[in-house]
Amino acid sequence: MTTSSSPSPRSHAVAIAGASGRMGRTLIEAVLASGDCTLAGALDLAGSPGVGSDAAAFLGRPSQVAITADVDQGVRDASVLIDFTRPEGTMEHLRACRARGVALVIGTTGFSDAQRAEIAAAAAEIAIVMAPNMSVGVNVTLKLLELAAKAMPTGYDIEIVETHHRHKIDAPSGTALKMGEVIAEAMGRDLKQCAVYAREGVTGERDPSTIGFQSLRGGDVVGDHTVLFAGTGERIEITHKATSRMNYAIGSLRAVRFLAGQRKGLFSMFDVLGLNA
């Protein structure tokens, strides 16, 4: 596998999973536009019409990197793989990265507890940034939600509303769930015990200890998230709206740069952005 130019000593050799998809193409565009990253590999499922073609063909310029269904081939020249695919695919990519010592940026959501445990085990050998949303703005929003939840642990009903495009296959979104987790943890609650995902019929009075979720699907909405803290005589709404997938790509490249200084470990975007302090 060759790249369009010889990487400089300071460049990051990046492979992209799901290279033919909407997010994969956005990531490829961001890598090629960056001044410090080189496209080193592109992966997609066997049978995808993009396999065998140049990864940057959609941009009208060659990258000299062909999309491949061979996972080992796709990561062998990379120092880090960015993966926004599905849990089953990500786990296969994780094993290849672990075998080759390739770092990993995981934006995939919907993992089972067992899959999360395998990712954590791999982080004992390679460096991984894992977050349900790589957007810088979303992660700043998560920090704001943590502060709000700590300041308002009682007296406010909490509802999380998310809207995504018609093609999204899971609900609630991983970002909405992360918002719920951050809020619940800040309040000393367990989201698994207090989350409410649906209401219908005669539901009775709202339990003030619950965190509600609503998922809307339609059109080409990239991703809107609003958290409502409804108290007596006032409401606070904290909202993030994404108008382009490029914000996820920009955040992913910040994670790539962060991983260049890590040998192993499991990190979040809070680590990448210095928000844990």
| Domains in the chain: boundaries | 12-130+245-273, 136-242
The CATH architecture to which 136-242 belongs is 2-Layer Sandwich (3.30)
Instruction: For domain 12-130+245-273, give the CATH number.
Output: 3.40.50.720
Measured in degrees and rounded to the nearest 5, phi and psi for residue 9 equal -60, -25
pLDDT recorded at residue 11: 87
Name the active-site residue from 143, 165, 167, 168: 168
206-246, pLDDT tens digit by residue?
A: 999 999 999 999 999 999 999 999 999 999 999 999 999 99
Is 168 considered catalytic here? yes
CA dihedral 198, 204, 207, 211 (to 10 degrees): 10
Residue 78 CA from chain centroid, whole number: 20
Does the pLDDT of residue 152 top 50, yes or no? yes
Strand-by-strand arrangement of the 211-217 sheet: 195-196, 211-217, 157-164, 223-230, 235-242
114-131, pLDDT tens digit by residue?
A: 999 999 999 999 999 999
160-209, pLDDT tens digit by residue?
A: 999 999 999 889 998 999 999 999 999 999 999 999 999 999 999 999 99
Q: 136-242: same fold as 12-130+245-273? A: no
36-45, pLDDT tens digit by residue?
A: 999 999 999 9
pLDDT recorded at residue 204: 95
pLDDT recorded at residue 5: 41
Name the active-site residue from 12, 164, 178, 225: 164
